[in-house]
Structure 1
Amino acid sequence: MAKPAILTLELLQENFVICRLSPSSSLPSWAFNGPFVSITKTNDELSIITIDNNQLPKEIQCERNWKCFKLIGPFPFDMTGILTSVLNPLAKAEVGILAISTFDTDYVLVKDINLQTAIDVLKQNGHTINA
C-alpha cells in the first residue's frame, strides 16, 4: 500500500453555497457572478456550487456556510491517493465533506462550523494549509 500523499492546500477565503435545481432548469446567470462555479447536471438534479454573495433567489434550495480547500496541483490523472490523503483523516474526525474535481486539481468543501477541526486534522496528517 502506498504512503498517503502529503499535500499543500489553499483555504479559499470566500463562503460557498451549494444549490440544487430541477434537472430541467436552464443555467441561471447568478451562478457566474464570482470567481468560482462548479456545475453538475444529472437526470436527478442540477447542482451549482458557487460563491455565496447573498444574491440568490429565495426559491432556490441551498446549503450555505461552506468553506473550500484547493488542493494545489495539477495532479496527473494516473496519480493515486490524492483525495484519500485528505478525505480519510477528515472522515476519521467525522468532518463531512463535498469534493469537486477539475482537470488540474481537486477541491474539498467543509461546513464552516467544522473548519478549524478540518485544518487541525489535515495539519496533524502532514498537510500544509495556506490561508
Structure 2
Amino acid sequence: MGRPFSNIAQISIGFEMYARGYRRASILKAFPDKSRPSVRTLGNWITKYREVPGDNLRLEQQFEWRDMDMFSISWEYADLIARLIPFEAYSPSVRRVRWWLRVKQMYPHYLDSVITMLSNKFVVNDHMDLLGIPGSDWSILSDASHSDGDTQLELLAGTFAACFFELDTNLPSWVQNGVFLSIVRTEHRILVVCSDEMIPETEKISRGWYCLKHEGEGISWNLVLSKTVPSDDIQIFSVLNTNYLLTKNLGMIKSLGINIIEPDGTNN
C-alpha cells in the first residue's frame, strides 16, 4: 500500500476541487485510471482538507473577473491574466492568479509559459504548507534570482542532431568535426551529437537542437533550468570548465534573463 500523502500534485488538484464543492466521485474521476488514488487515500486527503480555515478555501475558488476588486488585484494585470488563463487545463483559482502576479513582479522578463510553470510549483507549495504536509520547496524563489543578466552563453552556429547507434555500428561519414561534436559510448549504445547540416534527410534522428556554450566555474542557472524546463528539452555536457547546453526551446532559455551571444558576436 502506498503512502497516502506521497502524490503531492494530485493532493493539490484534489484540494482545489474539494474547496469548489466537488464530491468524492468527481474528484476521483479527475485522475487517470492508472494513477487514480483509492477511495481510502482520498478519504485521508479530505480529512486534511477539512482542517483548512475557510478564508484559505476561498482562494481555491475559480477566478472570476469580479475577484479583481475583492482580492485587491490591480487591473493593470488584466492583460497578463487574460494571456495566462489559456495555459491552464482547468479554470485557475484565485490563489494561482495571485501567484502569476507575484512571479511577474519578481521576474518581469520571463515568458508567460515560465510564469505559469513557476506559479504552479508555488501553488503546490502553498497547499503543502496549508495541509501540514512536509517537503515544500521554496528554494526556487532564491534560485531563480541566479539567472540574471550577468550570465552569458555563446550560441554556436547552426543546429545540431542527436543520433543513437548500436554498439557494433561503424559511424557514418557525416559524423564529423565541427564547432561541437560529442560521442558518448555506454554499455547499451552510442550517442552522437553533431551538426545536422550534412546529415541526409532519410536518417531517423532528432534534429534542430541549438547549442549554447558557457565557460567558467560552474553554471549558476543550471538549477533554475532543471526546475523550469522539461528534461526532454535540455541536455548538458561538461568538459572541465566548459559547459554545453543543448536545447530545442531557445525562447525559454532567453526568457530566464540570460544574455545570449549570437554567432556574429551580437547580444540577444
In the alignment, structure 1 segments of 5+ residues that lack a partner are: 76-81
Superposition TM-score, scaled by structure 2 size: 0.38
Shift of 1:57: 7.1
Distance 1:101 1:56, change over 3 A: farther
Report the counterpart of residue 70 of structure 1 in structure 2. 213
> Secondary structure of the equivalent of 2:174?
helix
Q: Which runs of 5+ in 2 are unaligned?
A: 1-142, 263-268
Percent of paired sites with the same residue? 30
Larger Rg: 2
CA distance in structure 2 between the partners assigned to 1:97 and 1:87 by the alignment: 10
Give the number of the structure with larger relative contact order, counting CA–CA contacts within 8 Å between residues 6 or more apart.
1
Contact 1:16 1:67 in 2 (8 A): yes
1:32 aligned residue: 176
TM-score, length-scaled by structure 1: 0.72
Counterpart pick for 2:155 among 4, 11, 16:
11
Structure 2 distance, partners of 1:86, 1:27, is 34
Q: Distance in 2 between matches of 1:53 and 1:101?
A: 23
Q: Cα deviation per residue 1:26-46 (whole Å; 9 max; x = unaligned)?
A: 333311153321000011110
**Bigger share in strand:** 1
The 3-state SS of whatever aligns with 1:32 is coil
Among candidates 51, 54, 69, match of residue 195 of structure 2: 51
Work out the CA distance in 2 between the residues paired with 1:17 and 1:57.
Answer: 12
1:57 and 1:40 map into 2 onto residues whose CA distance is 23
How large is the RMSD of aligned CA atoms in angstroms?
A: 2.6
Higher helix content, 1 or 2 = 2
Q: How many pairs are equivalent?
A: 115
The reply to whether residue 108 of structure 1 matches residue 245 of structure 2 is yes
